[in-house]
Every structure is written in structure tokens, then in C-alpha cells.
Structure 1
Amino acid sequence: MAGNSKRRGAVRKAGSKKGATVGSGGQRRKGLEGRGPTPKAEDRTYHVAHKRKVEAEKKAGGSSGRGGDRARSGRGGSSRGPGRGAATEVVAGRNAVLEALRAGVPVTTLYVASRLEADDRTREILQIVSGRGYNLLEVTKPELDRLTDGAVHQGVAVQVPPYEYADLDDLLDAAERSGAAPLLVALDGVTDPRNLGAVMRSAGAFGGHGVVVPERRAAGVTASAWKTSAGAAARVPVARVTNLARALGELKQAGCFVVGLDGDGPTPIGDVAFATDPLVVVVGSEGKGLSRLVREACDVVASIPITSDVESLNASVAGGIALYEVARLRSQAE
């Protein structure tokens, strides 16, 4: 009623949320603090990945032999000593997986896609895995796609420990055991692991005894290299050296000739005089080619004749052609 002085107005109760806050200070500081990174899926007890992890650990604990030991530790061993890597690798593809198992590469776990269409390779893979007591997990195709980072896995993948690099002496010893003159491939500045895998495959096909790569600014033997090598990574050793030019000097002292590949090389690779002798073929990167110190360490710089319409060859293609020419010259000399 107008003019009613006794009418009560809208009075906010004391202590309500919307009341004035005086001297809040650090009262809300705790609410602004972060809660840290999101835990991994396998560390969340309610997640299906955690249940799979617990189940795999139970199976690993109950298995015996080499497979069980590797599954518990998460890494495999090797007769050549501890590796330099810190994480496991996933090798995908039926050929790559089968070659790795045939070569006795230590395996932590075999992943098989559900509803896999079996063939001779998958049957042999399952037979080897069951005989050695390795962990076998059946997963969905999306899960296998995630594990292999989208690689073409053909429904099969294995988890293997970090690649065990050899020493230069190991490569020369392998040549001595074969009874043939050493034939090695050195990669100078090749950073694509698929090129490394392709070179390893060519080395295995044309009688190469190993591949030499530098530690820095160069590709290493990763899962991608494993896949591209089509299993040759299990048979062709790779030595990783601190300084490639110095390593070439050591190989020269051991009696090897060093041939560098370059598009402007004065000698065609098919005319190299000492192809039947202990030989190291050096392949440079596509962009920069051979580095200055590596070029100076070569006894001769050879080229692969190509038509003028093509500017250059892929590093792995050039390496494969050079290895074929050396193998051809050696077969003619026998």
C-alpha cells in the first residue's frame, strides 16, 4: 500500500551466496589450482585398458620360460648386450612379424585382430608364439590401428624390445663367417626410417653383411624401418657409430675400399675396379648428398647413370641399384 512505512523491502539474508565477500584473499586459490595431467588409460582402474593390463600381467606371471620373463619386465634381452633405447617397438605386418619370429627376436606380446583371415603366414606365426610361450592378445581392429599408429598391420603386430645395434667388428665378423668379401652400406644423413628399412632389405637381397648409420641426424631402426625392411631387420645387422667419417677410416684400415654415391661422380658404379674386394658403399641424403668429410673419406666417388629427365634417385633406390651392380660384378668374377 502506498505510503505504508511498515512494508518490508527485499532484504538479503546474511550468509547467502550472493552476499558481499570482504577480504577473500586466498579463499578461492585452491579452486584455481590445476589437478595435474590426465592419467593414462591403463592407470585408471575403471577403464577397460586397465583391466587388459591387469589380465596381461596375470598371464605373464603364470607363464614360464623366456616369454614370461620378458612379459614381466616389458623388455626383451639380446645376446649382444643391452640396447640404447628406452621404449619398446611395435612391428606390424605379417611378413615383418614372421621374419622377426623366425630370427628369434625376443617378443613381449603378439596382437592379433579379431576375426582374422588366416593364411600360411598367420598359422606359422601362431604356432611359433604358442610354442615359445609369448603373450597372445586378441584385439579389435581400431585398437590394433592405435597400437601400430595407423600402419598397415594386416591384422598382426608384435611388441619387441629396442633394436640392438651391432659394432663395426660385428659386421666384419659376419662377412668372415659367410666366406665372402665384406659388403657394407653406410648411410650419410638419411633421416627417413623407411629409406633405412629399404636399404636393409636390399642389403639382405644382394649379399650385404650390414648397414652403418651415424647416431646423430640420421634414421634409426624403428618400427617403420622394421616394416619397410619386410623382416630384413632381423637378418641384416645395423651398426650405429658416433662419427661416420671416422668409422669409414676404421673400415679402410681393416682393408675395405670405400665408394661414395653421387650424381656427379666421375666413375659409373658398374665400372668400379675393386667391386669384388671388401667394399663399403656410402649413400648420401637426397638433398645434400655426401657430406664433405665423408666424401673425403671415400676412395672413389661413383655415379648411377640416369636420363636427364630425372634429377636424382631416392636414397634407398640408389643404394639398391649399387648393391645389385656390386653383386653382379662379383658373380661374374667367380
Structure 2
Amino acid sequence: MELLYGLHPVQEAVRSRPRDLDHITISRERKDARLDALVESARSAGIRITSEPRAQIDRMAKTEMHQGVIAFLRERRALAVEDLLAVQKPDGQRRFFLALDGVEDPHNLGALLRTADGAGVDGILLPERRSAPITAVVAKTSAGATEHVRIAKVTNLVRALERMKKDNIWVIGLDERGTPDYTDFDFAPTDCVLVLGSEGAGLHDLVKKTCDYLLRIPMAGGVSSLNVSVAGAVVMYEVARQRRAPSAPPPVKQKKPQKGLGS
């Protein structure tokens, strides 16, 4: 059974996969409009609601940061690389994936999933080893984005990236010694997968060798690199910016003819 806690993650689970929800438990001590709205939407979806003292929810969630609500869900179906590659895009739009090579901090993982959802990433590759699992901590940090992003668990990240290459997807790693700068790379014309390394060591050597390009984020200060969730956000939104359709120019305001004397 999978656990979720926090108002946003549980609400997103109610919206996106109500059939997987076994039941939701709320704190008897908490009374407010946000929790009432969640309970109402859950009951409308036919989800069973129970109540417990806050101390009991603390024990079930193993944290006090649950906001008075915890949900119990059946395990979701695991996706494979082929499931991500089957994504259909409208004509003219390119696929954009994210691969995480050893991100082990659940807060970094949650932040990356939240950004991936916001930036329009089509799917995420996570290795089964050397990676933080999708837990309630990750779900809460992602503000419910775990319910919307498509995640494939892979046993070997290098083989998964090679499989993507066969589908004409460019593999682009982020490395502090890479070149060129990420702003100088043209993400618009090709399908691509952005690969981010672990918090300390960065990309593993075999993963780095698999990349078609290694890009860097220029640093102006004394620190050599950014936190992985921040670096990922910077580049993901650069990809989204480059791929955004150019907005139509504002209409030209027609000048009214000026009336002269005697007109």
C-alpha cells in the first residue's frame, strides 16, 4: 500500500486516480475550509473517509508534516521506456524527457518532479538503484506533481538512454565541465532527454559517455555548480522557453487622421 500525506498531494491523487485510493484518514483536531473541500471531493469520488487523533496520524505518516490528512493507495502500474516513447505529440512539437542519474535526496527528487510537470516534460527515467524512491516525502515536496508526471523505472540507465537514441532522441547531459553553455544550445528542432547527475558526484562515467552533448551552466561566483534541483529547473525552463511558439506581434494601432483648421 502506498502512502500520501499533505493537502496538495492527496487532493491531486483524488483528482487523477480516485480508483487507486483505498481510503483517506483525516485528523479529528483539524477543522478548516481546505480540509472540508478535500473531504467533499473525496466523498463525491466514492472514497471512504475515516478520522483518527492527530497523534495516530503522526505515527502512520512518521512525520508531523502531514497537514492532518493521509491517504492509502494501491500501488500504481510501473512504466517502461517504451511507454514513454509511445507519447504522441501534436504536429511540429518535439518530445522532451528527463533522466536522473543517482538523485538520492527525496526533496531534490520532489522538486525536480514539480519542475518537470510545470515545464511540460513528457516522461522521466529513474534508475531502480542509486535513486530516491517515490515516497510520501517526495510526493509532498512535489506538491502533488507525482500524480501527473509519467515515470519509468529502469534497471540500467545507460541501456535506457541507448534505447532512446534508437528512437532519434538526443541525449544531453548537464556537467560543470561541459561545453557549450546551456543557453547556446538549440533545443527546439529535436527530441531530447536531459540527464542530471547526483548531488555530489554528478553524472557517472558511463552515462557521461552515452551523452551526445554535455552542457554547462556558467557560474559567476566562487561556487562551481548549483544544487541539482535548481540546475534542472534552469535548463528545463530554457528548453520550454525555446520551444514556446512565438507570440503574435501586437496589432498596429491605426492613427486617426488629424483634423486641421477649416476641416
Q: How far does the alpha carbon of each residue in 1:53-83 deviate from its partner, in whole angstroms, 9 at most, with x for none? A: xxxxxxxxxxxxxxxxxxxxxxxxxxxxxxx
Could you tell me whether the CA contact under 8 Å between 1:270 and 1:326 is conserved in 2?
no
- Any residues of structure 2 matched to 1:1-334 within 5 Å, and which? 88-105=1-18, 106-119=20-33, 121-176=34-89, 180-331=93-244
**What letter is aligned with 2:167?**
A
Could you tell me whether the CA contact under 8 Å between 1:175 and 1:183 is conserved in 2?
no
Could you tell me whether the CA contact under 8 Å between 1:269 and 1:302 is conserved in 2?
yes
**What letter is aligned with 1:109?**
H
**Length, aligned pairs only:** 246
5+ long unaligned stretches in structure 2: 248-263
Identity, in percent, stands at 37
Cross-structure match for 1:74: none
Distance (Å, rounded) in 1 between the aligned partners of 2:78 and 2:223 = 35
Deviation of 1:228 (Å): 1.2
Deviation of 1:151 (Å): 4.5
**What letter is aligned with 1:190?**
V
Could you tell me whether the CA contact under 8 Å between 1:257 and 1:274 is conserved in 2?
no
Distance (Å, rounded) in 2 between the aligned partners of 1:220 and 1:164 = 15
Could you tell me whether the CA contact under 8 Å between 2:187 and 2:242 is conserved in 1?
no
Distance (Å, rounded) in 2 between the aligned partners of 1:214 and 1:250 = 14
Deviation of 1:100 (Å): 1.0
Cross-structure match for 2:256: none
Distance (Å, rounded) in 2 between the aligned partners of 1:333 and 1:327 = 12
Could you tell me whether the CA contact under 8 Å between 1:166 and 1:239 is conserved in 2?
yes
RMSD: 1.9
Cross-structure match for 1:4: none
User: Would you identify which runs of 4 or more consecutive aligned residues in structure 1 move more than 6 Å?
Assistant: none
TM-score normalized by the length of structure 2: 0.87
- RCO greater where, 1 or 2, for CA within 8 Å and sep 6 or more? 2
Could you tell me whether the CA contact under 8 Å between 1:275 and 1:330 is conserved in 2?
yes
Deviation of 1:134 (Å): 2.2
**What letter is aligned with 2:95?**
P
5+ long unaligned stretches in structure 1: 1-87
Q: How far does the alpha carbon of each residue in 1:307-330 deviate from its partner, in whole angstroms, 9 at most, with x for none? A: 232232211111111101111111
Q: Report the secondary structure of 1:240's partner residue.
A: strand
**Alpha-carbon distance change, 224 to 164 in structure 1, aligned in 2, over 3 angstroms:** farther
Cross-structure match for 1:75: none
Could you tell me whether the CA contact under 8 Å between 2:176 and 2:225 is conserved in 1?
yes
Higher mean C-alpha deviation, range 308-317 or range 230-239: 308-317
